[in-house]
Amino acid sequence: VNHDENNDEPVDVLVDQLETLHIERKLKFDDEDDEDTNSSMKSNEKLLQKCIQLHDQLAHAPNAKLMRYLAEYIILLSGDQDPWLVVTLIVEMQAIGFRYNALCIYQRKKRHNTDRSGTPLPSATNASQEHLSHYIDALHFRPLTISYLKDILINEFLPAKQVCVCLHSFTLVHDQILAVQIRGNYYAPVLRRVIFPRLLIKKFHFLIESNTHTLHGITDHKRYWAIRRYFEQLFERLLEDLNQVYLTSPMRWWWLPETTIFDGKKAMIDDLLSSIIDSPQQRRFIEFFLHQTIFYLSSLDEIRQELSVNLPPAVYTRIFASRLIERLLEFKQRTYTNTSPSNSRPPQNLLLFLDNHLHIFPWEQLHCMTSLFRRIVIYRLPSLLLLDGMHKYYYNSSSTPEADRAAHVENNDMTIIPMEKTFYHHIDVDKGYYIVDPGNDLPRTKERFRKFQSEKPDLIEKWNGVIERFPTNDAIKDIFKSKDVLLYMGHGSGSQFYPVDDVQKNSSRLCVLLMGCSSARLQSLGDFEVFGMPFAYLTCGAATILGCLWDVTDRDIDSLTFFLLEQLKAGASLGEALRYGRELCKLKCLNGAAPVIYGLPVRAR
């Protein structure tokens, strides 16, 4: 695209204007700069419209780097005036490389599965045809409108209480990430910019590489474990930085579902906030913060302390003087009672959409996941658009059993008395296949697995599998076609035996457990976006992939693997099983924090 259809100004001139523009907008409260912000918005309105026009033109065949710059400029220029515009831009620029790769794979499959007239060949199964049609429809490139995002992608299929969080690492603004909480039921998204130094990313990468380097070649047993304990301490300190320095309150409230028990008091809250704050997004943030603190905290002193720290002094003073806090707390105490301890509550699933450089961090280890409410389970996904395709493929397909379509929602909400619902994909845990030590160089893992087989034969007695070798090509095809669970216990992700390109050629609804070193690690080359084995399995239609972000030791991961199998068989969700399985690891940071889940929430039928 060289010219704007509605303007004679070349695109390169517009890009030059963008490069020279100095933007210091904030997506949070700043009482001093309201007047400057308004004048800046007026002066940049023309440039903003040009950016939006160019963005829409490029949306049909986007360049990932250019789209990222454009989207960030639009976000910074528009500020907090339209949160839905911000969310639309973030969703559109997420995982562009993943979408290009997936669409290329799908088009090849489509040509392979049809004859010259477009008629499906006998070898093309219903599942593969539906996989292609749903995923192509969801991932193809076109301008994403706010109405489509709001009405179709979010409110049509997301349960009202399902929490989605997008974390975007700014390119144009150093050391900041934009956190966005999205939920259904037509609630406006909540935005917050958070300090997140790039030095922290470099530290984490250096620590992971150093850990990998010291895992091999040390023959002295005592020295080996002394080094492991040392790295465990380093990981603990870095996670403490992640928790205490950079992601303290109010970020911890982003991961929790927003209560609806105060919806009946919305008019009262709006009347007060409208007299204090002009910005709709700022009012939305205060409403969100009031909901979260008053619902999740039980002490009036705790609530006041939290609000006083995180709201502008003038806003907090007005709210405090109005006695709104006391009235909402009294209303909660009258209408909501929950005497069950936190450990007995059902888990709350959180869908986490991460920017390129943020996949490496163990966000699952934030303190608010383990201490504030104790039952938050994270499932990672590259894009909300992929979630749309997965939802259609898993819950609206003719190849999905009717019972599964009826049972894909479960009572699973902790914030209102009438329990809300969230979706799960149900798997048959008896339809599994194991690949153990295919390189024949992990004798202890092999020994532990055989012992597990003999001591608890009922857990995987109906499974097929191989030990000390990799399955044949025919066996691999059968795994993707007929199995629900694939367990890999070997080095890495198995790509040395079955490369990424071969994985993507299949169509499957597998739940994949990749219990090897760095099996879930995503890497990028230069300016290209991140990619790895989890994305390859998601491309082929797999429901869920569990793997490790960095290199781990075998004893802890083997124990965790067996615990996951036991819990899945007992009816727990994979995320819930992983959450408790981390506690079994002796090295709770070095090994326990490494496994993460990509994909949909799954549990046994």
Query: What are the C-alpha distances in Å from 572 to residues 329, 513, 564, 566, 603?
Result: 34, 15, 9, 9, 6
The alpha helices in 396-490, defined as continuous H runs, are: 402-406, 443-455, 457-460, 473-482
Do residues 315 and 266 both lie within one domain? yes
Q: Assess if residue 376 is contained within a domain.
A: no
**What is the average pLDDT score of the chain?**
82
Q: Assess if residue 90 is contained within a domain.
A: no
Q: Which of 291, 283, 280 is nearest to 318 (CA)?
A: 283
Query: Which residues, 6 or more positions from 278, have their beta carbon under 8 angstroms from its beta carbon?
Result: 34
Structure tokens at 203: 């530290």
Separation of alpha carbons 127 and 398, rounded Å: 8
pTM: 0.87
- 73-112 pLDDT, tens digit per residue, is 899 888 767 889 999 999 999 999 999 999 999 988 888 7
User: Which pLDDT belongs to residue 121?
Assistant: 54
Most confident listed range (38-42, 121-125, 194-198, 390-394): 390-394
- 410-442 pLDDT, tens digit per residue, is 444 434 433 445 578 899 999 999 999 999 999
- 463-512 pLDDT, tens digit per residue, is 999 999 999 999 999 999 999 999 999 999 999 999 999 999 899 999 99
Point out which residues pair with 178 in neighbouring strands. 168, 193
29, pLDDT greater than 50: no
Grade residue 407 by pLDDT with cuts at 50, 70 and 90. Answer: very low
- 322-357 pLDDT, tens digit per residue, is 898 998 998 888 887 664 555 556 677 889 999 988
Structure tokens at 468: 């000390």
- 54-81 pLDDT, tens digit per residue, is 999 999 999 888 899 999 989 988 876 7
Query: What are the C-alpha distances in Å from 453 to residues 450, 475, 538, 558, 570?
Result: 5, 21, 29, 13, 17
Cα angle at 360 between 355 and 361, to 5 degrees?
A: 95
Please identify, among 190, 221, 246, the residue that sits at the C-terminal boundary of a domain. Answer: 246
End-to-end CA distance of the chain: 50
Separation of alpha carbons 156 and 167, rounded Å: 23
SS (H, E, C) 154-212: HCCCCCCCCEEEEEEECCCCCCEEEEEEEECCCCCCEEEEEECCHHHHHHHHHHHHHHH
- CATH code of the domain covering residue 479: 3.40.50.1460
180, pLDDT greater than 60: yes
Q: Assess if residue 29 is contained within a domain.
A: no
Cα angle at 531 between 435 and 425, to 5 degrees?
A: 60
Do residues 447 and 551 both lie within one domain? yes
Strand 176-183 and strand 163-169: the pairing is antiparallel
- 589-602 pLDDT, tens digit per residue, is 999 999 999 999 99
User: Taking the C-alpha atoms of 546, 548, 552 and 557 in order, what is their torsion angle to the nearest 10 degrees?
Assistant: -10
Structure tokens at 454: 């003999």
Q: Which of 100, 243, 68, 273 is nearest to 170 (CA)?
A: 68
Point out which residues pair with 191 in neighbouring strands. 180
Please identify, among 335, 367, 383, the residue that sits at the C-terminal boundary of a domain. Answer: 335
User: Could you tell me if residue 118 is left (phi over 0), alpha (psi between -120 and 50 degrees) or otherwise beta?
Assistant: left
Structural domain count, the chain: 3
Do residues 324 and 240 both lie within one domain? no
Of the two residues 542 and 30, the one the predictor is more confident about is 542
Do residues 579 and 503 both lie within one domain? yes
Do residues 316 and 229 both lie within one domain? no
- 126-179 pLDDT, tens digit per residue, is 557 888 899 999 999 999 999 999 888 888 778 777 889 999 999 888 888 898
Please identify, among 335, 363, 390, the residue that sits at the C-terminal boundary of a domain. Answer: 335
Query: Which residues, 6 or more positions from 207, have their beta carbon under 8 angstroms from its beta carbon?
Result: 231, 234, 235, 238
User: Which pLDDT belongs to residue 419?
Assistant: 40
Q: Do residues 547 and 520 make contact, with C-beta atoms less than 8 angstroms apart?
A: yes
User: Which pLDDT belongs to residue 16?
Assistant: 55
Separation of alpha carbons 393 and 105, rounded Å: 17
Q: Assess if residue 396 is contained within a domain.
A: no
Do residues 236 and 294 both lie within one domain? no
Do residues 211 and 319 both lie within one domain? no
User: Which pLDDT belongs to residue 172?
Assistant: 87
Q: Assess if residue 576 is contained within a domain.
A: yes
Q: Assess if residue 21 is contained within a domain.
A: no
Do residues 468 and 556 both lie within one domain? yes
Q: Assess if residue 276 is contained within a domain.
A: yes
Q: Assess if residue 382 is contained within a domain.
A: no
Separation of alpha carbons 134 and 140, rounded Å: 10
Point out which residues pair with 192 in neighbouring strands. 179
Q: Do residues 436 and 446 make contact, with C-beta atoms less than 8 angstroms apart?
A: yes
User: Which pLDDT belongs to residue 123?
Assistant: 53
Query: Which residues, 6 or more positions from 209, have their beta carbon under 8 angstroms from its beta carbon?
Result: none
Do residues 330 and 460 both lie within one domain? no
Range of the domain at 231: 198-246
Do residues 498 and 582 both lie within one domain? yes
Q: Which of 277, 281, 259 is nearest to 192 (CA)?
A: 281
Do residues 453 and 550 both lie within one domain? yes
Residue 399 backbone dihedrals phi, psi, to 5 degrees: -85, -5
User: Which pLDDT belongs to residue 38?
Assistant: 52
Q: Do residues 287 and 269 make contact, with C-beta atoms less than 8 angstroms apart?
A: yes
Of the two residues 522 and 270, the one the predictor is more confident about is 522
User: Which pLDDT belongs to residue 2?
Assistant: 43
Grade residue 262 by pLDDT with cuts at 50, 70 and 90. Answer: confident
Do residues 232 and 275 both lie within one domain? no
Structure tokens at 554: 């075998």
Strand ranges inside 450-583, DSSP E: 464-467, 485-489, 511-514, 544-548
Interval 233-253 mean pLDDT = 77
Q: Do residues 428 and 273 make contact, with C-beta atoms less than 8 angstroms apart?
A: no
Query: What are the C-alpha distances in Å from 309 to residues 110, 111, 301?
Result: 56, 59, 12
